Structure formats: structure tokens, C-alpha cells
Amino acid sequence: MKRYFSILILSLTLFACNEEPKLTTNSAEARKLYNEGVNLLDKFYYAEAKSTFERVLQLDSNFAMASARLALVHRRTDNEADAKTEIARAIQKYSRASIREQLFIRMLDHSIHFRHAAAAAVADSFISLYPKEAEIYVLRGNYYELDKSFDAALAMYRKAIEADTSYALAVMSLGYAYSARGDFDKAIEAMERYIRLAPDAADPRASFADILLRAGRYDEALEQYKESLQLKPDYWYSINKIGDVYTTLGRLNEADKQFELGITKMVMNNQIRASHLATVGILQFLRGKYDETIRLCEQSLALDSTNGKAAFVRVYALLKLKRFDEAGEMIQLIRNEYVRRNLTESSAMLDFHILQAKFFEEQGLFDDAIAACDSAMEYGSELTRTDVHHELAEIHLKKGEFDDALAALEEALRYNANFPDALLTLTKVYKANGDRQMTNGIGNRLLELWKNADKDFQPLIELKKILSKSSTTLSIS
């Protein structure tokens, strides 16, 4: 009898859920603008989306989902304080909203407050009540990725596409998930479909470029980012990603110009300014100006003490200067922030453990460094583990274990044969092992890759020193 009534209640609930309106507002204009804002948000046009949701709330200040979406914009632009303020406003309007809207708001509230497991649980409830809501499958997939459940995330993205074959963000997410597994053929296929679904939007081309970039196809990636900008000349993401490619290729002055342009196209707040300062710090690091790197990172952290990029780059610069005590203190602060954000069991810990490995390696504590790499392996996908293998190769090289270093580098180069850091380490291994032919062969590949690099690009300077000692006939001008 109890089971019968439970089934009856569930059936009535599902019927009510199917009948309820998707959006609770009495303003037709607010509803129309809201849908435009969601479309802009889905395209990652954050400045336009922010402005649109603010206009929606001027039309209907009680529109709970508009506040929730505005909170999402703030979160995606790293503005934690405003995201928390706006989601609190959505919660205050919560009672007026439908069940569907309430679930979305609760899920987002948990997520913004770093209650990731609770957010995932609400997403599961949402899916059980509304199995045709493709967006929630994508968000659930994101939570799975954070939880290191990469296969489960992939399954969620497939379900999103089953729910709505035209939902472009599901196809995009599938493409990134395939690339994380190292399956670039399927990733490219998904991104090509993403382009077909949204041919006039800038992001599909940029996402396709991201896959090419991960595979080391740098020239092709640049072409796609530039194609993206043909569709939307002020698309902040593509502008900055071109800067990332230039950085990888050692074209630091060109990268600097891209980043300076990119920040002018973004939603401006202290978090964005802090991230920009850290990015400039990376360029200074690659020029070998470590004191300047530290200064920029400290300026960044003064604006936003939680900026992870600045904290990481500051540690790497301190290690170059052998300021190990300060580096150790910064690493502890980074871990404290991971604890605050409830990320200590998440995929984000891969980078943290690699940082720890470098910290130990630079002090000659090789066993501790290898243990940190072992820990990092637990948090990565097939693709992101390549960074761990590269760090292992650096450790084995310093220990004189050349065969182990070569084995690690084989894994590091598995998915990107043009991974510059790994190729430079490979050159160093062959040089240390006395193999002149392979030293010059790999070195020449890097010289071609860095043919337009700035003269003060430190990896190129290091490479030229290696090659000058390896061969007196090799041209390295």
C-alpha cells in the first residue's frame, strides 16, 4: 500500500513537472531577453550576457532565474564575491519559482559555494525529474570530470546529445572529453559537428583550435582561432588563446600584444586584472626575469589573493632563485585555497602535485619528487598525465637514469609529438647520454618550432647552448 501511494505521488509530481512553465516571470519582454542572455552565455559572450541579464532584472526584479544566470556569468569570470551575492538574491526569490527553476538555483548555489557533491546530487534529482533537459546532463558531466570520473562524464555528454541532438554545448563538451582521453580523431569529429551546429558563432572554431593545440598542430590551431575572430572580432577567448600559442612558440612580444588586447574585451573586475598580471608574469618568467615575475605575481595576489595562476607562477620563479622557504610557504597557501574550495580530491590536484614534485626536484629530494608524481597520476586523464610524465623525465635525468627518462618522455609525447618542453628535455637526455645524432635531430625539430621565437626566450637559449656543445657544424643562428 505504501509503495502504491509512493508511485502515485511520484507520478503526480512528474505530471506537475511536465506541466509547469519553464520560466517564472509575468514580463514577456523579460522572458525574451532572458532567452537571448542564455544564448549569449552559451556562446561564452560574457560581457554581452552580463548586460542582458542585468536588463532582464530591471524589467522583472523578482525573476529568480535571471539572478541565477547572472551569478553564473560572475562565476565564469572568476568573480566569486558577486557570484555569491547574486545567487543569494536568486535564493531570496526562490519560493516564486517553479520546481525546475528551484532545482537549477539550488544546484548553482551549491556549486558557487564549492559544495560539489551536493551540486552533483541536485543535478541527479533534476535529471530524474526532467530527463530531456540537455543542459543538466552537461553540468552533471562537468561535476564528474571534477571528481576524476572521466568515463562517466563522457556518458553524460552523450546523454545530453540524446536528449537534444541540436544542443551545441553538449557536442562541444563531448569533443573536449574525447581529447582528454587522447582520442583526437573523435574529438575533431565532435568539434566539426559543433561548427555545423553553430556556424555563425565564434566559439566552435576556437574549440576546434583547442583540440588542434592539444595535439601540437600549432599552425592549424592559429588558423582556426583567426577564423573564429572573423566571425566575432572581439571574441576574448580566441584573442587570448592566440597569445597562448605565441607563448608556446616563444613569440613572447606578439603574445604580450594579444594578452593586452584580450583583457580589453573581457568583463572587467579585479579577478580578471589579477589573472592578466599573472599572465604577463609568465612571459617574464620565460624571458628569465624571475624577480620581475615575482613582482607581477605579488601584484596579482594583492588584487585577488585566491588567484591560482599567480600563486603557481610565483612558486616556479622562487624555485629558479633557490628561495625554497618562500616557495614552500606559497605551496601551503595554495593547498589551503584548495581546501577552502573543496578541491583536494578533485582533478585540479594534478597541477598541485606536479608543483610539489618540482619543488622537491629542485632541492634534490628525488624520492619525494617521484612520490608527488605518483600522487599526480591519480588525478589526471590520459592527456593531462603527459605533464606528469614530463616531470618524471626531468627527475630521472637529474638522477642520471637515462632509460627511465626516455621511457617517461615516450609517454609525455604520446598525444603531442610537438610538446616543446618534453622535446627540450629529450634533447638534454640524449646530450647527457652522449648520443650526438639524436641530440641534433631533436634539437633541429625544436629550432624549426621556435624559428620565430624572441631572442630572449630562455628555452631557445638553453637549446642553443646544448647544440653548440654537441656539434660545431650545426647552424643555430
pLDDT tens digit string along 146-205? 999 999 999 999 999 999 999 999 999 999 999 999 999 999 999 999 999 999 999 999
Span 434-448, pLDDT tens digits = 999 999 999 999 999
Please report which confidence band the pLDDT of residue 470 belongs to, taking 50, 70 and 90 as the band edges.
low
412 contacts 422 by C-beta, under 8 angstroms: yes
210, pLDDT greater than 80 = yes
The fraction of the chain above a pLDDT of 70, given in percent, is 94
Average pLDDT of the segment spanning 92-119: 96
Q: Looking at residue 56, what is its pLDDT?
A: 98
Amino acid identity, position 153: A
Cα distance from N-terminal residue to C-terminal residue, the chain = 86
Q: How many CB atoms lie within 10 A of CB 350?
A: 21
Q: What is the pTM of this model?
A: 0.92
Would you give the DSSP letter of residue 363?
T
Residue 117 scores a pLDDT above 80: yes
If one counts every other C-beta atom within 10 angstroms of the C-beta of residue 78, the result is 18
Helices (DSSP H) in 341-455: which residue ranges? 349-362, 366-377, 385-399, 402-412, 420-432, 436-449
Contact 299, 275 (CB under 8 A): no
Q: Is 60 exceeded by the pLDDT of residue 370?
A: yes
Decide if pLDDT at 63 tops 60. yes
Average pLDDT over residues 407-428: 98
Band the pLDDT of 13: cuts 50, 70, 90: very low
Q: How far apart are the C-alpha atoms of 275 and 268, rounded to whole Å?
A: 11
pLDDT of residue 51: 98
380, 388 contact by CB (below 8 A): yes
Average pLDDT value over all residues in the chain: 94
The cell for 75 is 562565476
* pLDDT given at position 473: 37
- Mapping DSSP onto H, E and C, the string for 12-41 reads HHHHHHHHCCCCCCCCHHHHHHHHHHHHHH
Residue in 28, 50, 55, 29 with CA at minimum distance from that of residue 40: 50
Q: All 3 cell numbers of residue 103? A: 532545482
Nearest to 469 by CA among 449, 444, 439: 439
pLDDT tens profile 304-324: 999 999 999 999 999 999 999
pLDDT for 21: 65
pLDDT digits (tens, 9 = 90+) for 41-56: 999 999 999 999 999 9
Q: Return d(Cα 349, Cα 388) in angstroms, integer.
A: 12
The answer on pLDDT for 2 being more than 50 is no
pLDDT at 406 over 90: yes
What confidence category does residue 469 fall into, taking pLDDT thresholds of 50, 70 and 90?
confident
The predicted pLDDT at position 20 comes to 58
